[in-house]
Amino acid sequence: MSEKMRLHITNKNYSSWSFRPWIAMKVKGIDFEEVLTLFDDDAGNPKFREFSPTGKVPTLVDGELTIWESLAILEYLADRFPELGFWPDDMAARAAARAVACEMHAGFTALRSECPTNWRRPVRAIEVSEGVRRDVARIEQLWAQCLEKSGGPFLFGDFCNADAMYAPVVNRLEKYELSSHRAVAAYSAAMKALPAWMEWEKAGIAEPWIVPADEA
Ligand SMILES: N[C@@H](CCC(=O)N[C@@H](CS)C(=O)NCC(=O)O)C(=O)O
């Protein structure tokens, strides 16, 4: 497995799932090849099927191995690079980090569907459902508890896979003016100071492609 790993992603302006392993790999200093295949929702994204068994991104290719699903990719990276701290060293912290990562992977559906990731979007509040408010309240509680326990700046101290899972949420909370919680402000500042964050943001904003369904 000497060639570089390939991470398949889609439009940086909109794809929150793509951002998760991408920012983790960047923060941990992994040299990988990024392959961007544009969204083609109207046609059902047929090109995604050329590299992904589910027809979804992100998908990581490492030699003969193809790994799909963002959380499985993050777990694979932790196995492949055990020295890089993709999960916290401490067993209890690692269990909590996995729990909050799973919570993100499987939940917060109201927030995800009503407030799509959109880096170009000017900051502006919209009418949101009770479900979104509940999701935001849980995220505020979770971030506040993790930061208090770890001392920050990231959820478990140093950046880990749990932060990769929540990175796109930082953007959503800001763009739709969803929270004025102190923990959200502190965590967002830490996330936005990462060179990897700035690199993705710059590229996303510069993209010319519009996906109407994600323009809430
Ligand atoms: N559960 C998947 C979700 C991946 C996902 O929905 N990706 C979107 C892009 S952000 C996608 O590929 N959509 C294309 C489609 O559904 O046709 C993961 O965690 O990787």
- Taking the centre of ligand 1 as the mean of its atom positions, its distance from the CA of residue 58, in whole angstroms, is 7
Q: Residue 40 C-alpha to ligand 1 middle, in angstroms?
A: 12
pLDDT tens digits, 5-57: 999 999 999 999 999 999 999 999 999 999 999 999 999 999 999 999 999 99
Q: Residue 172: left if φ>0, alpha if ψ -120 to 50, beta else—which one?
A: alpha
Q: Ligand 1 centre and the CA of 150: distance in Å?
A: 31
Atom of ligand 1 nearest to the CA of 39: 14
Q: Distance from the CA of 91 to the center of ligand 1, in angstroms?
A: 30
- Domains annotated for the chain, with CATH where assigned, are 5-84 (3.40.30.10), 91-199 (1.20.1050.10)
Residue nearest to atom 1 of ligand 1 (CA): 69
Extract the tokens encoding 89.
Answer: 């060293």
> Average model confidence (pLDDT) for the chain?
97
Protein residue whose Cα sits closest to atom 20 of ligand 1: 69
Question: Which residues approach ligand 1 with their CB closer than 6 A?
Answer: 10, 15-18, 45, 48, 55-58, 69-71, 105
Looking at the predicted structure, is the pLDDT value of residue 1 above 60? Answer: no
State the CB neighbour count (10 A cutoff) for residue 40. Answer: 13
pTM over 0.85? The answer is yes
Cα atoms in the 13 Å half-sphere on the side-chain side of 143: 28
User: In percent, how much of the chain has pLDDT > 90?
Assistant: 95
Nearest CA to ligand 1 atom 12: 56
Q: Indicate which residue's Cα is closest to atom 11 of ligand 1.
A: 56
Judge contact between 9 and 204, C-beta under 8 A.
no
Instruction: Say if CB 17 and CB 58 are below 8 A apart.
Output: yes
Percent of the chain exceeding pLDDT 70 equals 99
Band the pLDDT of 216: cuts 50, 70, 90. Answer: confident
